[in-house]
Structure 1
Amino acid sequence: MKVQDSTVDTTVADAPRGNWVDQYAPVAMRPYLRLARMDRPIGWWLLLLPCWWSTALAAMAADQRWPDPKLLILFAIGSIAMRGAGCTWNDILDRKIDRAVARTRSRPIASGAVSVPAAFAFLAFQCLIGLAVLVSLPRFAIMTGLASMGVVAIYPLMKRITSVPQMVLGIAFSWGALMGWASVFETLNDPALLLFAGSVAWVFAYDTIYAHQDKEDDAVVGVRSTALLFGRKTQLAVALCYTAVVVFFAGAILSVSAGLFAILGLAGFALHLQWQVRSLDIDDPDRCLAIFKSNRNAGLILFTGLALDTLVPTLLHYLLP
């Protein structure tokens, strides 16, 4: 399969209209940016948020003045790079399936805009960026990060052999909930493990919502998902998962003796999840996508509460006599 002529540009069906890649990126770069999902930043946001939660939780436990800015920046760079690498790997493995699904057949590899060898080269480039970020962390955090590689590698294959591939995705996308804590304390303790467990349930639920966009095509091509498994019981399944998320996160926050702002952040997060459940319509793909994307806002509400729990006392210390 040849790389598409760089003078010919084909948009991707499941990308937002008018995104910055379609409008401003050089034409020759667009297929690769689309392959990395740079036209859809929601993916790296959802990968990044558990990292930021963990960093803020560790800051509270360590009595730091604020979440470590260096870690927040490193995790942001790493999340963008590794989200792109994960999508590239997924599209390499799924190129035949993608051609059979209306929403994905215009993706760069499936459409022929990027060849498989070129995709592997691009994958290696993104992994090198992720590795550069990883080796900037303490040794224990490096080993913790490397331990996730197996889960990341096998995830795209899971929908072929299990009805709950979202659980594997949950583990992969929640690894950051361990990384912030591991970077600060160079060990893993109960708060980080509780945060990780809650994040797995969060990812499992929101990706179940996302999977309802493709359930008809998935059934035809033989791909499995929790959307097909739960069917009409999806709303109940998501509600139960989100309840578990709040319980686990409450345990993590209380175990570090968090203050009012962290509790308010969790309350706002919980209310957002409740809104998602009540608003869910599994027969409306656009609605499912909108609710899925809204999890970035839910996660930012929680992070803001956690961060303020360290920042506000620090500011008051400097401002008040």
Structure 2
Amino acid sequence: MNTPLTPAPFRVPGSDGSGRHGYPPAPEPLPVPVMDNHTHLDFPNSDVTVDVAAALDVASSVGVQGAVQVGCDLESSRFTVQAVDVDPRLLGAVAIHPNDAPDYAARGELEAALAEIEALAAHPRIRAIGETGLDFFRTEGEGLQHQRYSFRRHIDIAKRLGLTLQIHDRDAHDDVVQVLREEGPPDRVVFHCFSGDEQLARTCNNEGWYMSFAGTVTFKNAANLRAAIAIADPARVLVETDAPFLTPHPFRGRPNASYLIPHTVRAMADLTGTELSRLCAQIAENSVRAYGSWD
């Protein structure tokens, strides 16, 4: 989408009269700063394009001091490399999304795209290969073999470059785990927007894989996530927005942004019976172990 880095103001939420269709009001700040483990700052909110620095300023004001900007095709991965050079509060991840891999393959461009992803990943502030994985919700038939091939190639890139692997897993838990075990996972694996249940959480505990919880953990119909986070190893728990998607309750359906992380973290604290400051400190420590320092 060739999005510029600072094209338009990101107004302090609730100050522009946007009502129920705009950004929700800013929450109470967290007592200890955390990082947003997964966001898409290049994705516009409807026809409004986000100003990267302003969005991060608003996030910082409520205790979200950094983020991982995630690419999911060549254009957004190129944007990610630009963005991490512009603002030190960002680290980056680059990849071809599993739902895009079949399209690149159909055009005969998948190999070239994977080669460019590997080249982009050489940037010192690109700390992860992602989001990659399997998606059985939107892709079917012949496209699945291209997804699997692309996923295996991304695993190989992450291992050779010593980077974290950020996984997109939708309706494909068992197959994702199988591929990881067949290929041999990188040292650090993150299940982005963790969507599994208690069984997958136990697998992540046993394997030492990170579980990144998004606003979905606050949804009333998310019994599987409540069961999963209740038994998740605290040393393997992260938090994310997947902005502009998956806005936490009570603002589900409105655009998401990093400054809304406090809603999700407070819900996580309630679900696990963890004191809020302690959980924030744990998430911050886990984020640095998963991606390295933001400094």
Q: TM-score, normalised by structure 2?
A: 0.32
Q: Greater Rg, structure 1 or structure 2?
A: 1
- Greater strand share, structure number: 2
- Greater helix share, structure number: 1
